[in-house]
């Protein structure tokens, strides 16, 4: 069986649908707001832990693990309910609303538990919107365009994630003592996102609508064995894929200042954005599974590199290669979901995809944090690399039919 996507009956070089473009722009704006804050969180937490018995690795692990686990559970339920009611827009708008209102509250925090509350609130919104948004992208495009559509969306997302740290760096250069004010101002791009979605997003594409009498059951019964093995491989990989805050913490430990961290995060996301745009177009030619496999091998190599890094320039080089991992895997992973679940509600399919990833983030971050604090960087990053290799072996068992993506 071939891993290449089936050829769409539509013209292969047609432009992306309006929904895909609009969701790309909203992701760009949302990530400008998010990434003005995210790379600065390790140093913010480090300042809060001065004189405390708590260790940074464990605190970061608890905060990011709890936040992402919250999102993962909601992605599964919200994806199912968007299938059941036959509407995606309501879930997407509501999710962005929640994040827009809770994220700026980081400007008011005074302790780690408050950071935890804000991060969980932000991820709550992500959990509500993500599966419905991915399903709407899949429904708005034909099979030959899906890799490009998801690559474009992730590319715009990463472009926003590149602009955010740059805005933060310039803001802190002009007003170095106004970090909390900057956090509060992230509500501005958030409100722009809401306006665009309310007035521009349209329901689109045929979908499987579940009857009102059908209740949600935590079951993989509607899906075939290939999809289940794929979810298992994703779960194993994610167990070794800890929060990127640990990578930023490693950079900070090697002497990176707040301004340097913002610049590093900017460059990282520029490469991720360009890479997703290019890799998304290559999905029909190269195939989904080979691209994911290659990405996971790159990830393992990068984590081994982080285990050995002892100079700041090492971190810079590794972050740029790390961006290649994202470019190879993000558009192909989501395209493979659509390939393996033809004829099944896309909201539920992407709910399970996001659930398999998200449910492992808490143990992944806790595992990494404990290993990092007790045994050092080599043990923590080495474990992540080993789990990525195991996941790549499992991925080889997934079979993709040339016609599996016909809707």
| Average pLDDT for 165-191 | 89
pLDDT at residue 102 tops 60: yes
Question: Of the candidates 354, 351, 345, 361, which has an alpha carbon nearest to the alpha carbon of residue 77?
Answer: 351
Average pLDDT (90-97) is 93
Buried b (16+ CB within 10 A) or exposed e, 247-268: bbbbbbeeebebebbbbbbbbb
> pLDDT at position 1, please?
37
Residue 382 reports pLDDT greater than 70: yes
pLDDT given at position 199: 94
What pLDDT does 311 receive?
86
Nearest to 104 by CA among 198, 191, 42, 167: 191
What number is the average pLDDT over the span 364-389?
Answer: 89
Asked if residue 314 lies in contact with residue 255, where contact means CB atoms within 8 angstroms, the answer is no
Which band of pLDDT confidence, cut at 50, 70 and 90, is reported for residue 27? Answer: very high
Percentage with pLDDT > 90 across the chain: 34
Average pLDDT over residues 44-65: 74
Query: Is pLDDT above 70 for 9?
Result: no
Which range among 1-15, 98-112, 384-398 has the greatest average pLDDT? Answer: 384-398
CA dihedral 299, 261, 276, 240 (to 10 degrees): 30
pTM for the whole structure: 0.74
Q: How far separated are the first and last CA of the chain, in Å rounded?
A: 19
CA-nearest of 378, 210, 63 to 55 is 63
Mean pLDDT for the chain overall: 84
* Cα angle value 69/72/75 (rounded, 5°): 155
Show me where the domains of the chain are located: 18-203+222-395
pLDDT of residue 407: 46
Q: Is the separation of the CB atoms in 384 and 247 below 8 Å?
A: no
SS3 call for 55: coil
Q: Are 59 and 112 in contact (CB under 8 A)?
A: yes
As given in the structure block, the two tokens for residue 357 are: 């990833």
Q: Which of 117, 65, 89 is nearest to 241 (CA)?
A: 65
Backbone angles phi, psi at 406, to 5 degrees: -75, 125
Q: Quick one: average pLDDT of 284-293?
A: 91
And the tokens for 287? 């195939």
User: What is the C-alpha to C-alpha distance for residues 186 and 107, in angstroms, rounded to an integer?
Assistant: 10
Confidence of residue 214 (pLDDT cuts 50, 70, 90): low
The pair of structure tokens assigned to 149 is 């559509």
Check: CB of residue 129 under 8 Å from CB of residue 91.
yes
What confidence tier does 13 reach under pLDDT thresholds 50, 70, 90?
A: low
Q: What confidence category does residue 406 fall into, taking pLDDT thresholds of 50, 70 and 90?
A: very low
- Spatial neighbors of 313 by CB under 8 A, at least 6 apart, are none
| pLDDT top residue among 348 and 218 | 348
Averaged pLDDT for residues 229-238: 95
Q: Which pLDDT does position 5 carry in this prediction?
A: 39
Write the CB contacts of 379 (distance below 8 Å, at least 6 apart in sequence): 371, 372
Q: Nearest 10 degrees: CA dihedral of 151, 155, 161, 164?
A: -150
Is the model's pLDDT at 404 over the cut of 80? Answer: no
User: How far apart, in Å, are the Cα atoms of 357 and each of 118, 207, 238, 285?
Assistant: 21, 24, 6, 26
pLDDT score, position 145: 86
Q: Is 371 helix (H, G, I), strand (E, B) or coil?
A: helix
- Stretch among 1-10, 119-128, 251-260 having the lowest mean pLDDT: 1-10
In this structure, are residues 28 and 170 in contact, taking their beta carbons and an 8 Å threshold? no
Beta carbons of 310 and 254 less than 8 angstroms apart: yes
Could you give the C-alpha distances from 292 to 7, 145, 297, 381, in angstroms and in order? 20, 18, 9, 20
- Find all residues with CB under 8 Å of 343, minimum gap 6, and list them: 208, 407
Question: How far is CA 272 from each of CA 1, 107, 161, 265, 320, rounded to the nearest angstrom?
Answer: 30, 28, 9, 10, 8
Tokens, residue 342: 């033809």
Q: Which CATH number fits domain 18-203+222-395: 3.30.2320.30, 1.10.340.30, 2.60.40.1890, 1.20.1250.20?
A: 1.20.1250.20
Among residues 1, 2, 3, the alpha carbon closest in space to that of 293 is found at 3
pLDDT at position 210 is 52
Dist. CA 63–CA 200, nearest whole Å? 34
Q: Provide the H-helix boundaries in 36-142.
A: 41-48, 56-85, 89-102, 112-139
pLDDT tens column, 134-162: 989 988 888 888 888 998 998 899 899 88
Other residues' Cβ atoms within 10 Å of the Cβ of residue 299: 27
Share of the chain above pLDDT 70, in %: 89
Which of 105 and 220 is assigned the larger pLDDT? 105
Q: pLDDT for 317-331, tens place per residue?
A: 999 999 999 999 999
Which pLDDT score, from 0 to 100, does residue 249 have?
A: 81
């Amino acid at each position: 069986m071939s891993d290449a996507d089936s050829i769409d009956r539509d013209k292969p070089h047609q432009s992306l649908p309006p929904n895909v473009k609009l969701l790309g722009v909203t992701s760009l704006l949302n990530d400008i707001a998010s990434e003005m804050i995210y790379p600065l969180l390790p140093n913010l937490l480090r300042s809060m832990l001065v004189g405390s018995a708590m260790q940074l690795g464990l605190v970061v692990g608890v905060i990011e693990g709890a936040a992402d686990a919250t999102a993962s559970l909601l992605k599964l339920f919200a994806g199912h309910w968007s299938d059941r009611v036959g509407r995606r827009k309501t879930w997407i708008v509501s999710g962005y609303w929640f994040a827009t209102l809770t994220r700026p509250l980081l400007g008011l925090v005074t302790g780690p538990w408050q950071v935890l509350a804000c991060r969980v609130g932000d991820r709550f919104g992500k959990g509500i919107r993500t599966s419905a948004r991915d399903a709407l992208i899949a429904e708005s495009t034909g099979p030959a365009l899906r890799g490009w559509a998801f690559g474009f969306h992730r590319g715009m997302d990463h472009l926003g994630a590149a602009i955010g740290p740059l805005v933060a760096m310039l803001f802190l250069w002009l007003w170095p003592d106004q970090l909390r004010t900057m956090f509060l101002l992230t509500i501005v791009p958030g409100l722009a996102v809401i306006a665009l979605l309310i007035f521009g997003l349209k329901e689109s594409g045929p979908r499987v609508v579940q009857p009102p009498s059908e209740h949600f059951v935590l079951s993989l019964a509607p899906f075939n064995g290939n999809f289940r093995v794929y979810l298992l491989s994703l779960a194993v990989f994610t167990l070794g894929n800890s929060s990127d805050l640990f990578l930023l913490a490693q950079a900070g430990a090697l002497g990176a200042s707040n301004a340097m961290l913002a610049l590093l995060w900017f460059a990282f996301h520029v490469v991720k954005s360009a890479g997703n745009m290019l890799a998304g177009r290559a999905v029909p030619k190269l195939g989904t599974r080979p691209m994911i496999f290659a990405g996971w091998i790159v990830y393992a190599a990068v984590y081994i590199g982080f285990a050995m890094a002892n100079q700041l320039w090492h971190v810079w080089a590794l972050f740029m290669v790390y961006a290649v991992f994202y470019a190879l895997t993000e558009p192909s992973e989501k395209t493979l979901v659509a390939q393996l679940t033809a004829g099944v509600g896309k909201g539920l399919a992407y709910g399970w995809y996001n659930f398999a990833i998200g449910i492992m983030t808490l143990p992944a971050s806790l595992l990494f944090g404990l290993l990092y604090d007790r045994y050092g960087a080599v043990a923590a990053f080495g474990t992540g690399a080993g789990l990525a290799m195991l996941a790549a072996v499992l991925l080889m068992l997934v079979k993709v039919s040339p016609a599996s993506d016909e809707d």
